[in-house]
């Protein structure tokens, strides 16, 4: 979840979820809670989400309230989402694959995974390494002693391991520069300005920037990519009316071809995605990543790095 494109997808999800609620009277006001990185959760994006949710709620006659959960970049928010559901403060929530798996047993007791979505035509995000287009590097190993820049480190550890490099990021690269990438252009600009030599993150956010701006498309190239984490998974509380859930899922899964949602289709086109049924087997790679992160200390390494730079 990293740039305005994350926010665009969040807006899309919010609108479609809201519109999917059946037109029936209900005493309870449903709360849709979407975690958002600090910065994106403040200002215009949050206002747009709230305004659109209110408009859709008025149209359907269903009490529906939008709420966001602000969190610092890189934070694991599964437990906080759970707390909101347990407290009755959220009915429909979204989590990434890793966040879900870290609290899976508790989540499964309280919620149903109802659907997911594709981004860049895939049900998962890829960990991708990017370098300048004219850089001579062919592998991450070639960048030993070079300058790393970015926010989180787990993507880097996984791609490094795929090349047989099993050591902390700081021990492979010559320097590490913290660049808050909630605005993906910042680390890309650092690459183009020759301030860093490699940026490793979720591939789709960089692809979207490169697709929208020819300067990034020409100046930056993909060095290496690998399947990494399941995309956003949406959950419905087991306290919700089951007929509401069924109607929501049916409507959402047909949204990309439903003329009633035509005004949102441009957003789907922008992210090259749509809502799809959730399939547990598509979590296999994410499970592998989580096990490596716990066994090899990747998660502790990343949290220590973030604490050092975000405090």
* Structural domain boundaries in the chain: 4-121+231-278, 124-228+288-310
Average pLDDT over residues 55-77: 73
pLDDT for the residue 25: 44
pLDDT for the residue 29: 82
Cα dihedral value 54, 71, 277, 48, nearest 10: 30
pLDDT for the residue 26: 47
| pLDDT > 60? residue 204 | yes
Q: What are the residues facing 33 on neighbouring strands?
A: 67, 93
pLDDT for the residue 290: 97
| pLDDT > 70? residue 14 | no
Take residue 61 and report the two structure tokens written for it.
């006659």
| pLDDT > 60? residue 72 | yes
State the number of CA atoms in the 13 A half-sphere of 148 facing the CB. 26
Q: What percent of the chain clears pLDDT 90, i.e. is strictly above it?
A: 54
Average pLDDT over residues 159-181: 97
Per DSSP, the residues of 117-138 read: E-BTTBSEEEEEEEEETT----
Q: How many CB atoms lie within 10 A of CB 303?
A: 16
Q: Where are the beta strands (DSSP E) in the chain?
A: 30-37, 64-71, 92-95, 111-117, 124-132, 147-150, 175-178, 198-202, 220-230, 233-237, 275-276
Rounded-to-integer distance, Cα 86 and Cα 79, Å: 10
Average pLDDT over residues 34-47: 62
Question: At 183, is the secondary structure helix, strand, or coil?
Answer: coil
Which fold does the domain 4-121+231-278 belong to in CATH?
D-Maltodextrin-Binding Protein; domain 2 (3.40.190)
Rounded-to-integer distance, Cα 78 and Cα 100, Å: 6
Least confident of 152-161, 200-209, 224-233, 267-276: 267-276
First to last CA, the chain: 21
Average pLDDT over residues 226-250: 87
Question: At 237, is the secondary structure helix, strand, or coil?
Answer: strand
The model's confidence at residue 246, banded by pLDDT at 50, 70 and 90, is confident
Average pLDDT over residues 286-311: 94
CATH of 124-228+288-310, one of 3.40.190.10, 3.40.50.300, 2.30.30.30, 3.10.450.50: 3.40.190.10
The model's confidence at residue 61, banded by pLDDT at 50, 70 and 90, is low
pLDDT for the residue 243: 79
Q: Do 80 and 58 meet the contact criterion of CB atoms below 8 Å apart?
A: no
The reply to whether domains 4-121+231-278 and 124-228+288-310 share a CATH topology is yes
Q: How many CB atoms lie within 10 A of CB 290?
A: 21
């Amino acid at each position: 979840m990293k740039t305005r494109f994350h926010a665009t997808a969040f807006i899309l999800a919010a609108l479609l979820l809201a519109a999917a609620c059946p037109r029936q009277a209900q005493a309870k006001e449903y709360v849709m809670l979407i975690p958002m990185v600090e910065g994106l959760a403040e200002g215009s994006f949050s206002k747009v989400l709230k305004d659109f949710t209110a408009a859709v709620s008025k149209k359907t006659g269903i009490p529906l309230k939008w709420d966001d959960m602000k969190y610092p970049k890189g934070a694991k928010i599964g437990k906080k989402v759970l707390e909101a559901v347990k407290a009755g403060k959220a009915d429909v929530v979204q989590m990434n694959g890793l966040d879900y798996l870290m609290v899976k047993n508790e989540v499964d007791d309280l919620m149903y995974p109802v659907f997911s979505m594709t981004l860049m035509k895939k049900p998962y995000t890829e960990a991708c390494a990017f370098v300048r287009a004219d850089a001579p590097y062919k592998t991450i190993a070639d960048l030993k002693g070079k300058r790393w820049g970015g926010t989180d480190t787990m993507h880097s550890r996984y791609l490094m391991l795929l090349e047989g490099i099993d050591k902390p990021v700081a021990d492979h690269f010559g320097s590490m520069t913290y660049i808050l990438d909630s605005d993906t252009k910042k680390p890309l600009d650092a690459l183009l300005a020759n301030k860093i030599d490699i940026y490793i993150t979720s591939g789709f956010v960089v692809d979207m920037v490169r697709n929208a701006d020819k300067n990034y498309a020409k100046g930056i190239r993909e060095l290496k990519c690998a399947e990494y984490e399941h995309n956003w998974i949406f959950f419905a509380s087991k306290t919700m009316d089951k007929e509401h859930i069924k109607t929501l899922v049916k409507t959402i899964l047909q949204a990309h071809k439903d003329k009633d949602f035509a005004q949102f289709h441009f957003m789907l086109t922008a992210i090259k995605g749509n809502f799809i049924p959730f399939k547990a087997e598509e979590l296999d790679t994410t499970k592998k990543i989580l096990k490596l992160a716990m066994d090899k200390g990747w998660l502790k390494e990343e949290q220590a790095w973030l604490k050092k730079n975000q405090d």
